[in-house]
Structure 1
Amino acid sequence: MTPRPRATALRVLPALLLVCLAVAGPSIAPHPIDAPLTAPFAKPGSDAFLGGDQLGRDVLSRLLAGGRDLVLSSLLVAVLVTGCAAVLGAIGALRPRVGRLVERTADLVMLLPAVLGILLVTLSWPDGGRFAVIAAAVVLGVPYAVRLVAGAASPVAASGYVEAAAAGGERLWHLVLREVLPNLRATLLALFGLRFVAAVYLVATAGFLQVGPQPPAADWALMIRENSSGILLNPWAVVAPSAAIALLAMSVNLAAAAIAPQTGRKAVTVL
């Protein structure tokens, strides 16, 4: 392995490990996540490596079980936001009138504060829950992503080979999928990493506000909210899920940044 691929692998590996651990966490939790094991906010010991939470449940078990829904929800949000932004941004670059309409709509949506947007969508959604949080995160994320993709797609749309394809009678979807988006792979991959980080924080914020997952569910954001009153008794009940959220967001963003330049160079080489 040459130095550059080795460095890329080292930056991608932490993200893969954290995502795999979060997804497999419920299966490897050492204790039931709902059964009291210690005294409330008990210090770490042999029975509970990270101590107990406000109800005496094992913090480590709830930490392992609390990341899967957050990871899967954030991945889904990042995929939907990146996909929608890629299509809308490319169409806007190829059709300026449509692009102006998309940008004005995005400007209006961006005026809505993130927390207020989460509350509006989740509280008006029937029964709320995780799908409402995902919908809110997509609605709030697409406007920012569209502006970025449209800016990157404009030079591509104005290039000679795209104009030649359009003059040859190729349809709009062919221009979007075959001519523009393949040359934005680096931008889209970097955007995916950024939107995943934003989705992690939005989904975690919803959990902290208790408009997504509800107690007694094991969720990292809920753990922070529920155990904040006992942070001086057992800091791990709050520090552990907080660190897990931060490390997950940071590692995925670094992994996307490590891969994006290589993907971009491949796209240019093909052309």
Structure 2
Amino acid sequence: MRRLLPALALLLLAVAGPLLAPHPIDQPVTLPYGPAGTDGALLGGDQLGRDVLSRLLHGGRDLVLSSLAVAALVTAVAAVLGVAAALKPALGRFVERAAEVFMLLPAVLGILLVTLSWPDGGRLALMTAATALGAPYAVRFMTAAAAPVVSTGYVEAAVAGGERTWHLVLRDVLPNLRSTVLALFGLRFVAAVYVVATAAFLQIGPQPPAADWALMIRENGPGIILNPWAVLAPSIAVGLLAMTVNLAAHALAPKVDRT
């Protein structure tokens, strides 16, 4: 449980951050790239003199909420499709071939294809791309995890008794994969953070003057010598978010007896 607390605390801070920001995100409070501590700006100013701390506190909420939504959708789709594929070999072969095709598509190219073909989609288009890119890996993971459960006697007895596929998936198999599903959710959240942050860094999705951690890194890169915190602070925030959630996912992963 202790390994879950840092991730929960950071997620809560990212979501509630706008309530704690000392300045508006679009209001200059110091000189461009003003050093930390000047004019009441604890982390200094960005390229327009706006408070880095305020923008940092605002910049994590959309990233976290988008990543949570993508992770939840990918996990739900993968859990149902993966278990169904393990139960139905014909469906499993089709799902596996489709997953292999999607896995060949590079992440950045997939994001560009979706966002450019849906120019008004904004963050929704980015989330759609992240979901489509993450689902193939998750489906194969869940298919492999469900295979030992599907081969157990009570599932075979339920199949022989004529139980419908949806009942087998939701009532007989998935309840025995709770820890696996939770671990998958954590891993897909980390992957979604990387995809959404990469897209924002490439200015696909949130646009200036929006406060976004990845966008802050891109915008303030030229002034890293003048005020390193304008780049280091959002970089550390993204790294800590991914690391703490990854540790939490590892803590939730099913324990394997290696004796």
- TM-score w.r.t. length of structure 1: 0.92
1:207 counterpart = 2:195: no
Q: 3-state DSSP class of the match of 2:3?
A: helix
* In 2: Cα distance, 1:95 partner to 1:128 partner: 36
Q: Which residue of the partner structure matches residue 58 of structure 1?
A: 51
* In 1: Cα distance, 2:9 partner to 2:80 partner: 31
Q: Which residue of the partner structure matches residue 76 of structure 1?
A: 69
Residue-by-residue CA offset, 1:206-262 (whole Å, 9 max, x unaligned)? 100111101100000100000000011101000000100010111112112223337
1:40 counterpart = 2:32: yes
* In 2: Cα distance, 1:211 partner to 1:254 partner: 29
Q: Which residue of the partner structure matches residue 228 of structure 1?
A: 221
Q: Which amino acid aligns with 1:122?
A: T
1:108 counterpart = 2:104: no
1:18 counterpart = 2:10: yes
Q: Which residue of the partner structure matches residue 258 of structure 1?
A: 251
Q: Which amino acid aligns with 2:135?
A: V
Q: Which residue of the partner structure matches residue 5 of structure 1?
A: none
Q: Which residue of the partner structure matches residue 123 of structure 1?
A: 116
Superposition deviation, residue 154 in structure 1: 1.0
Are the equivalent residues in 2 in contact too, given 1:52–1:59 (CA < 8 A)? yes
Are the equivalent residues in 2 in contact too, given 1:129–1:212 (CA < 8 A)? yes
Structure 1 spans left out of the alignment, 5+ residues? 1-7, 266-271
Q: Which amino acid aligns with 1:171?
A: R
* In 1: Cα distance, 2:80 partner to 2:202 partner: 32
Q: Which residue of the partner structure matches residue 4 of structure 1?
A: none
Q: 3-state DSSP class of the match of 1:35?
A: coil
Q: Which amino acid aligns with 1:16?
A: L
Are the equivalent residues in 2 in contact too, given 1:128–1:211 (CA < 8 A)? no
- TM-score w.r.t. length of structure 2: 0.96
Are the equivalent residues in 2 in contact too, given 1:118–1:137 (CA < 8 A)? yes
* In 1: Cα distance, 2:62 partner to 2:175 partner: 31
Are the equivalent residues in 2 in contact too, given 1:123–1:211 (CA < 8 A)? no
Residue-by-residue CA offset, 1:66-112 (whole Å, 9 max, x unaligned)? 00000000000000001000000001000000000000000000000
* In 1: Cα distance, 2:74 partner to 2:216 partner: 27
* In 1: Cα distance, 2:167 partner to 2:254 partner: 25
* In 1: Cα distance, 2:57 partner to 2:154 partner: 51
Aligned length: 256
* In 2: Cα distance, 1:170 partner to 1:216 partner: 55
Superposition deviation, residue 25 in structure 1: 0.6
Superposition deviation, residue 186 in structure 1: 1.6
Structure 2 spans left out of the alignment, 5+ residues? none
Percent identity for Structure 1 against Structure 2: 73
Superposition deviation, residue 187 in structure 1: 1.3
* In 1: Cα distance, 2:154 partner to 2:91 partner: 21
Q: Which amino acid aligns with 2:27?
A: A
Q: Which amino acid aligns with 1:75?
A: L
The more displaced of 39-48 and 136-145 is 39-48
